[in-house]
Amino acid sequence: MKNYPLIVALLIGIIGYAQKNLEASVEGNVNNLPVREYKLTIEQQKVNKAGKEVMGMTVNGGIPGPTLEFTEGEYAVIYVENKMNVETSIHWHGILLPNYFDGVPYLTTPPIEPGTTFKYEFEIKQSGTYWYHSHTMLQEQSGVYGSLMIHPKEKQLDYDKDLVLLLSDWTNEKPKDVLRFLKRGTEWYNIKKGTATPLNQVIKRGALGAQIDFWRQRMEGADIADIYYPAFLINGEEKVTYPQFKPGEKVRLRIIDGSASTSFWMTFGGETPTLVSADGVDIVPVKRNKTFIAVAETYDFIVEIPEDRKLEFKITAQDGSGTASAYLGQGEVLSAPSVPRPDKIAMMQQMADMKMKMGAPALKFNPKKVDPYEMMDKWGMHMEEMDHNAMNMPDDDKSDHMDHSRMNHDDMEKENDTTIIDHSTMDHGNMMDENDQSGKGHAMADMPGMGMFSEYNYDYLESPEKTSYDEDIPVTDILLNLTGNMSRYVWSMNGVPLAETDKIKIKGDEVTRITFNNLTMMHHPMHLHGHFFRVINENGEYSPLKHTVNVPPMQKVTIEFYGNEYGDWFFHCHILYHMDSGMARVVSYDTARDERMEAHPVKKLVNQTNKFYTWGMLDAASHMTEFSLVSSDIRNQFTVLGEYGWNENLEAEFSYEYYLNDWVRLFAGVNVENEVEDSMEELSTTAIGGIRYFTPYMFSLDLRLDNKLRPQISLAREIMIFSRLAVFGEYEFQADFGWVDELAEGENFEKEETWSAGLEYFLTKNFSLMGSYDNRFGVGGGLSLLF
């Protein structure tokens, strides 16, 4: 019982913690607490984090910003000065504080305008490891983040020194350009990272059947991370050394994943460290080495510095695209274990074998009419389609599961995209939801294909005291399916992005239980502002308290929290680009809005997730020139296309498109082309209208009719066949039955066929070589520019 003193100390120190979480926040220093004051200054400055000097955003001159240190029972006063030419904000991640100081601009807190200073103030009524960051657009990616270290009133754990390790990812691109590039949908970031899975590799591995199954579901392949990062950082450096720690010293590593979009595997050299805290809350200590940390989570480990050796702490990006290390002590390095790069092709094969129903829509035809349970039943991983005998699960784990197929969803109270079930009484302590990541995950890990999920659970986290609520407290159940569209980069919940939904209304003095059902191929770290929640795991009544929970692909996780606050609180995926593309909600106690926020409408926050992004392409080849320009938000898209052959054939088109859902859009516009082949003397202008459909197997289908009543169909497709080489093709057929213009004498029907095929070799993010044949323009090659 090496950890017995630790457990006793934790039990003594944590008594009343759950009760404190039930107390509403109050503005002002009403208890006359000692004041600790800081000032933060945010500026735009040139920085070099990955071999290139670019414009970043610094806090007090650095990236990351300084560690703000407090003791539980103090009163924090923090002045934030904005020296930039754009507005900014600071959110205190994981801190229980008054709504007005939570730091989400236009929702809870006014934005900090250029040249102004905002005063944040709140009671420190908790201890642990937390962090702060901008909540304005994509500023967090540019460097506006730092750490919070809050000591308990009385020391509870046996260690000598603290060390904050703030993990982050860094791009030399402007974050808005990163998001714009994701919106256009290309494979370049995967190519650059070496994580692409082109067709030649798929065939070589015998995975063509799995690839075709993915294509059928409009999925390119198993995806892990979206963005290429040239550097991953620990306290702002790719490698950082702390020689001041002496042999035998016990150091509490306070580890924060402050990345914009990267989760990491953490490994440690030397003896296995002791995990003592998660998201700032103490847990039953557990010896543990390789540990997954999702974006916005925090974990505290106690390590002992070895004699005459240097201990390595290593982080590996989840997709294996990079690492960073911190070294503690002096001497020869005790290397941390390496984590192998995940096998995306094997993952794809396993998912196909499990008959997962992927491709749940990120955009619904009618966002006001949503049935989350129907969506859950239709998409995802359905156990009834798998061999239950392989699961080797005890009988009691197979019983008492809610049968949603027999549930009358029409009788449920619906609030836009949430289905609410009110339970007047329920034993919350023994709640072991069929949707949770509980002990049966270990049995499931033995099933074919399930090993890829087995490490992503929280069963190793156990609270030292009961976290369950009194069974007499009413409970409201909410199901949130996490949904996304990688090709358009739209992210949502229940197929409804933030811009098209209402608030999730919750009741004070009641328990809200939320089940996340991840229907995407990505991990989603979900964060609720201003609250801690129970993450239901195999520890039942002793399930841990957290402020951020990672939901793995095609998995379910259940949380629950007591409604003790007031006002509106932000609730979102903490992958910055997912949040900014719609995977967010406002959780509301339905109380009156703070009068101080009247000049700052919430609409401005919502509109940030539904902005127009514009991109284009220019091909300059020996036989033709092609140009396209697209400007799109979630539903609306404007497109300009133009083709000109050096043999004097021309076609240009402008269209407006409206997305009915992920795959179907209506369009109308104008088309201009030459009437006589190889001649520009006669140009024909026609009005066009029709439907565009992204089909299963990932073909782009265009069905249209022009004002001369000529129907036309076209089909296009592109496939990556090697790591940088893609093949593309398009076929177009138009018929003229003479319904408007008379046909030549003796003709009942005229047709026009055009087709093209070619290869494109990607040189950089913006340039590629291309060669093609077009039956109008001939054969040729040249350079393609993406902008």
Q: Which residues pair with 533 in a beta bridge?
A: 546
Q: Over 60: is that where the pLDDT of 421 sits? A: no
In the numeric block, the tokens 């009691």 are attached to: 396
CB atoms within 10 A of CB 408: 6
- pLDDT at residue 731 in the model: 98
Q: Is this prediction's pTM over 0.75? A: yes
CB atoms within 10 A of CB 313: 25
CB atoms within 10 A of CB 742: 8
435-465: burial string, b at 16+ Cβ within 10 Å, e else: bbbbbbbebbeebebbebbeebbbbbbbbbe
If one looks up domain 613-786 in CATH, what number appears? 2.40.160
Task: List for the chain the helix, strand, coil content (%; round to 5).
Answer: 15, 40, 45
For residues 69-81, average pLDDT: 98
Peptide bond before 64: cis, by omega within 30 degrees of 0?
Answer: yes
Digit-coded pLDDT (tens) for 726-735 = 999 999 999 9
Digit-coded pLDDT (tens) for 39-48 = 999 999 999 9
For residues 216-231, average pLDDT: 92
Fold of 357-587: Immunoglobulin-like (2.60.40)
Token pair recorded at residue 509? 């003095």
Contact 290, 203 (CB under 8 A): no
Of the given ranges (206-220, 422-436, 613-627), which has the lowest mean pLDDT? 422-436
Q: Over 50: is that where the pLDDT of 330 sits? A: yes
- Give the Å distances, CA to CA, from 630 to 638, 699, 762: 6, 19, 21
Of the CA atoms within 13 Å of residue 397, those in its CB half-sphere come to: 17
Distance CA 27, CA 657 (A): 49
In the numeric block, the tokens 């995209």 are attached to: 417
Bridge-based pairing of strands 524-528 and 767-774 is unpaired
Token pair recorded at residue 246? 């002496």
Token pair recorded at residue 593? 């809005």
Q: Rounded mean pLDDT of the chain?
A: 89
- Is there a common fold for 357-587 and 613-786? no
The gap from C-alpha 275 to its chain's centroid, in whole angstroms, comes to 26
Distance CA 703, CA 665 (A): 11
DSSP string for residues in 71-119: ETT-EEEEEEEE-SSS-B--EEET----GGGS--BTTTB--B-TT-EEE
Contact 239, 538 (CB under 8 A): no
For residues 578-599, average pLDDT: 96
Q: Over 60: is that where the pLDDT of 458 sits? A: yes
Phi, psi of 753 (to 5 degrees): -120, 130
Token pair recorded at residue 46? 């040139």
Contact 354, 381 (CB under 8 A): yes
The residue with greater pLDDT, 780 or 9, is 780
For residues 474-485, average pLDDT: 97
Q: Over 70: is that where the pLDDT of 303 sits? A: yes
Q: Over 70: is that where the pLDDT of 443 sits? A: no
- pLDDT at residue 20 in the model: 52
Domain ranges of the chain: 357-587, 613-786
Contact 517, 373 (CB under 8 A): no
CB atoms within 10 A of CB 421: 15
Digit-coded pLDDT (tens) for 24-42 = 889 999 999 999 999 999 9
**If you ran DSSP here, which 8-state letter would residue 563 be given?**
-
CB-count burial class (<10 Å; 0-12, 13-18, 19+) for 670: middle
Digit-coded pLDDT (tens) for 155-170 = 989 999 999 999 999 9
First to last CA, the chain: 62
Of the CA atoms within 13 Å of residue 200, those in its CB half-sphere come to: 8
Distance CA 610, CA 635 (A): 9
Of all residues in the chain, what percent carry a pLDDT higher than 90?
A: 81
- Give the Å distances, CA to CA, from 209 to 176, 528, 609: 37, 40, 37
Q: Over 60: is that where the pLDDT of 425 sits? A: no
Digit-coded pLDDT (tens) for 95-154 = 999 999 999 999 999 999 999 999 999 999 999 999 999 999 999 999 999 999 999 999
Strands of the 117-123 sheet, one edge to the other: 53-59, 35-48, 75-82, 117-123
CB-count burial class (<10 Å; 0-12, 13-18, 19+) for 596: exposed
Token pair recorded at residue 693? 């459909």
- pLDDT at residue 374 in the model: 94
Strand, coil or helix: what is 632?
Answer: strand
Q: Dump strand ranges (E) for 306-446.
A: 309-317, 323-329, 332-334, 413-415, 418-423
Of all residues in the chain, what percent carry a pLDDT higher than 70?
A: 88
For residues 211-218, average pLDDT: 94
For residues 363-392, average pLDDT: 73
- pLDDT at residue 455 in the model: 80
Q: Over 50: is that where the pLDDT of 631 sits? A: yes
- Which among 518, 528, 513 has a CA at the least distance from the CA of 491? 518
Band (pLDDT 50/70/90 cuts) for residue 213 is very high
Q: Over 60: is that where the pLDDT of 21 sits? A: no
